[in-house]
Amino acid sequence: VSEQNTTKHLDELTLLMYVERQLDRDAAQEVSLHTQTCTRCLTMLRALDRESRLLTRSMVEEDEPLPMKLAEFHEQVKRSMRWIWGVLFGLAALGVYALYTAYIEPVQNQLEQAGFGGSNLLSLMVFQGAFWKGWQSMFTLVEFAALGSVAAFGVFAIRKYLRRGTALAVMFASLGLLAAFATPASAAEFRKNDTVTVGKEETVKADLYAMGDHIRVEGTVDGDFFGFGQSVEISGHVTGDVICFCQSLRISGQVEGNLRSLANNITVTGSIDKSVSTFTEMMTVDPSGKIGRNLTSFTKSLTFDGTLGRDLLAMFGKANINGGIGGSLSAKGENLTINSGASIGGTAKFEGDNPADVSSGAKLASPLEYKKMQHKSHDSVRGSGYYVWSVIWAAAYVLFGLVLLSLLPGFSREASANVENVGASFGLGVLVFFAVPIAAVIACVTVVGLFVGLATLFLWYASLYFAQVIVGATVGQWILGRAADTWGLIGRMVVGICILRVGMAVPYLGMWFKYGVIIWGIGALSLAIYRRLQPSIAPNIPSVPLSSPNAPLPPNTTVGNS
Amino acid sequence: MEPLKPGRMSVPGITEPKDLIVRARAGDTQAWGDLYREYAPAMFRFCRRALPTREDAEDATMEIFMKLREKLSQYDPSRSFSAWLYKVAANHCWDLLRRRKARHDKDMEDIDELPLEAPEPNQLERLIEERSGDEVRKALNTLGARARMALVMRYYSDMSYDEIADALGVRRPFVGVVLLRARHELRQALQGSGALAAGGMQ
Q: What share of chain B in percent tops pLDDT 70?
A: 79
Model confidence pTM above 0.90: no
pLDDT score at A103? 66
CA distance A56 to chain B (A): 5
Closest partner residue to A22 among B99, B129, B176, by Cβ? B176
**Taking a C-beta distance cutoff of 8 angstroms, is the pair A349, A331 a contact?**
yes
pLDDT score at A4? 47
Mean pLDDT of chain B: 78
What interhelical angle do B29-50 and B81-100 show, nearest 10?
50
Which contacts of B111-116 are long-range, i.e. CB under 8 A and separated by 24 or more positions?
B111/B144, B111/B147, B111/B181, B111/B185, B112/A540, B112/A542, B112/A543, B112/A544, B112/B181, B113/A543, B115/A544, B116/A12, B116/A544, B116/A547, B116/B180, B116/B181, B116/B184
Counting runs of H as helices and runs of E as strands, what totals does chain A give?
15, 25
pLDDT score at B135? 87
Stretch 127-186 of chain B: residues touching chain A, C-beta under 8 Å = 128-129, 131, 133-134, 136-137, 140, 145-146, 151-152, 155-156, 161-162, 168-174, 176-181, 183, 186
Closest partner residue to B121 among A47, A55, A66, by Cβ? A47
Task: Say whether residue A1 is in contact with chain B using an 8 A CB cutoff.
Answer: no
Chain B residues near residue A46 by CB distance under 8 angstroms: 125
Q: Cα(first)–Cα(last) distance of chain B, in Å?
A: 37
Which of A59, A421, A558 has the most B C-beta neighbours within 10 Å, making it the best mutation to test the interface with B? Answer: A59
> Could you tell me the mean pLDDT of each successive run of 10 residues in chain A, 562 residues long?
58 89 90 89 90 88 78 50 55 65 66 48 46 49 55 56 51 54 59 88 88 90 88 92 89 92 90 89 92 89 92 89 91 89 90 87 88 62 66 80 80 81 82 82 68 81 87 85 73 86 82 89 87 50 35 36 36
ipTM of the complex: 0.84
User: Is there a contact between A73 and B136 if contact means CB atoms under 8 Å apart?
Assistant: no
CB-based contacts of A320: which residues, under 8 Å, 6+ apart? A302, A303, A304, A337, A339
pLDDT string in tens for chain B (202-residue length): 343 444 554 444 456 788 888 888 887 878 888 888 888 889 999 999 999 888 888 888 988 888 888 888 888 888 888 889 999 999 999 988 887 764 444 444 444 555 566 777 878 878 887 788 888 888 888 888 889 999 999 999 889 999 999 988 888 888 999 999 999 888 888 887 544 333 333 3
Task: Say whether residue A373 is in contact with chain B using an 8 A CB cutoff.
Answer: no
Task: Say whether residue A380 is in contact with chain B using an 8 A CB cutoff.
Answer: no
User: Is there a contact between B45 and A60 if contact means CB atoms under 8 Å apart?
Assistant: yes
**Taking a C-beta distance cutoff of 8 angstroms, is the pair A17, B176 a contact?**
yes
Comparing alpha-carbon positions, the chain A residue that sits nearest to B47 is A59
Q: Report pLDDT digits (tens) over B40-79.
A: 889 999 999 999 888 888 888 988 888 888 888 888 888 8
Task: Say whether residue A58 is in contact with chain B using an 8 A CB cutoff.
Answer: yes
User: Is there a contact between A69 and B58 if contact means CB atoms under 8 Å apart?
Assistant: yes
pLDDT score at A131? 45
CB-based contacts of A277: which residues, under 8 Å, 6+ apart? A125, A129, A130, A131, A258, A259, A260, A261, A295, A296, A297
pLDDT score at A253? 94
CA dist., res. A490 & res. A480, Å (int): 12
Closest partner residue to A11 among B118, B122, B178, by Cβ? B118
